[in-house]
Amino acid sequence: MPARRETSPDAAAAAAPARPTGEGCAVYEAIHGTALDIAGKGIANPIALTLSAAMMCHDLGHADAYRRIRRGIAAVTQKRRAELTPDLGGSGTCASVTEAIIQEMRALPPV
């Protein structure tokens, strides 16, 4: 079976999650450029990699975790735009966006 790459439509075009699959395996990754201009600055956008982790949860049968991660990301991108990383128009860092996603996930009602 040839490899297949799936991407999420809700990720920024410059950084999207991907799931190349082959027979009996899958690799979960963020697909984007090398971004050498921001290397070491702590401002890389963590959303694509986090969405890749959500896809992995889904594929492993953890649908609740998949939905919780996606809802946490949606809450941050919709309600906390100023906290996003500079590539999405915010002033946040990789760590602060990740923390915001975790906070939103924790605020969700139990599944």
pLDDT digits (tens, 9 = 90+) for 9-55: 444 444 677 777 778 888 888 887 788 899 999 999 999 999 999 99
Q: What is the pTM of this model?
A: 0.80
For 14-86, list the strands marked E by DSSP.
Answer: 16-18, 21-22, 25-26, 29-31
Residue 31 near residue 15, CB atoms below 8 Å: yes
pLDDT digits (tens, 9 = 90+) for 63-78: 999 999 999 999 999 9
State residue 4's pLDDT score.
Answer: 44
Q: pLDDT-based confidence at 88, cuts 50/70/90?
A: very high
